[in-house]
Amino acid sequence: MPLGHTSAVALLGLTGAIVEVEADISSNLPGFVLIGLPDAALGEARDRVRAAATNTGCEFPTRKVTVNLSPAALPKHGSGFDLAIALAILAAARLVNTDSVAGVVHLGELGLDGRLRPINGVLPCTLAAARAGATTVMVPTGNADEAALVPGVRVVGVASLLEAAIWHGGEYTPVPVEPILRAAPEGAADDDLDLSDIIGNDDAIQAIQVAAAGGHHMFLLGPPGAGKTMLATRLPGILPDLDADAALEVSCVRSLAGLPVGASLATRPPLEAPHHTATAASIVGGGSGVIRPGAAARANHGVLFLDEAPEFQRAVLDALRQPLESGLISIHRANSVAHFPGRFQLVLAANPCPCGQYGARDSDCVCAPSARRRYLARLSGPLLDRIDIQLRVARITSATMRMADEKQRVDTATVRSRVVSARAATAERLGATPWALNSQVPGPWLRGPHARLGPSTTVSIDRALERGGLTMRGYDRVLRLAWTLADLDGAQRPTADHLGRALYLRKAISS
């Protein structure tokens, strides 16, 4: 009997590959063989497909069925191949139109009652199918809105295997079923978090504006109650809306992580704040079978906030060093390498000592000097050297609170407009380069003929470099901060004052 074949998509990270699903029905003893390097979840598709076909009234062949997933060397994970396997078998049995089945990419998991369950990663799967030239994709009804976000692809949402078979020309009597839907996406968590809620700490407010305008990483050091968490959670609110490419990338990561996407792309930068007990796999991604994105990938184009940073395992923190430099997270396994985007802004917050009271005006620290050094030494030097802004945050006093009530405080909308203007100035200046933010510009370019500053302007950081107060990487990061400050002020080039303010933001903790 002729073969039946169709297509599905296998994901490795955010990269999708088209998988040819071939079904052969022979005259041997009844059986169901699935080949092509399936994992355990995919291997169980034999029982799901057989039960779904029987319970929906689609005749399942009573002979030997062999299903091949090609290319065989490509690892295939999960239950998203169920619909493709079932329709390839029905096509081989000539119960549906073979040409129709062959021309459609099928994604979806089957329940034993024949209904289709939504799966994770439909958005990157549909995007991969579109890039491979597919024009029609069939998905569960619960994933239809998400798949429709990919332009140029016809999306067919079906609630059951029976409905899919009828769509492909099967002569069956329609039976209405209740589709399985996904939860609606939650509203933005930072809608009620306004920058005007912060009292005092003018230096810190200026620092997060610089961080937002230039895409700089930030480290906040201060006692409990100083406002470190308030500052970090308000940083996403002052970031500009995501452009189309960034919105698609963020939504793809959300889809792969199993988070609801809905009928529109994410337009606001995400915020991820994992607990300090998180493992390296939960931060950068991983897994024993399917490689899933971690908090760093979910924070792509947004903010990754690590509160109580010294309490994180050192291996977890050091695992972030490579993504901070490259903007790419690579998860290596014996038979594959998965890549996730990792262009996030890292915000670290820490107490100055184990008791948290060192440097506080109204409390006494009970920690020995050696205990304080050991506590902050949990943050490695190479990691801190990659943090552009390092700021000490103090508790506010009652006098500061009274004075704050007498003057107008900046709000999120105002600061966001300033950040948008500064980024526009940066983009115009870097228009002929591959970079869009000051934090992305490499040091040789900043020190080269395109952006070199005069010796009279850089005298403060030159002296810091000579004294050993700055590394060469730190020197370049001060230059990046100075350019961001100049963009915020509307200046054409940084001045000595901008360099001095940038050096303060870089070295405020050690000063």
Contact between 493 and 456 (Cβ < 8 Å): no
pLDDT tens-digit profile of 409-439?
788 999 999 999 999 999 999 988 999 999 9
Encode pLDDT of 345-358 as tens digits.
999 999 999 988 88
Among candidates 477, 426, 386, which has minimal Cα distance to 213? 426
Residue 211 in this model has a pLDDT that exceeds 80: yes
- Reduced to 3 states (helix: H, G, I; strand: E, B; else coil), residue 330 is strand
Q: In the prediction, which pLDDT does 186 show?
A: 66
| 284 pLDDT higher than 80 | yes
pLDDT value, residue 184: 75
Q: How confident is the model at residue 188 (pLDDT cuts 50, 70, 90)?
A: low
pLDDT(176) > 60: yes
Stretch 204-229: mean pLDDT: 92
**Residues 32/38/44/45 CA torsion (nearest 10 deg):** -70
Q: What is the mean pLDDT of residues 183-201?
A: 72
**247 contact partners, CB below 8 Å, separation of at least 6:** 265, 266, 267
Residue that has been written with the tokens 């040091």 in this structure: 443
Residue % of the chain over a pLDDT of 90? 64
Residue 304 has pLDDT above 90, yes or no: yes
pTM value? 0.90
* Alpha carbon distance 387, 502 (integer Å): 13
Helix axes 228-238, 202-214, angle to 10 degrees: 40
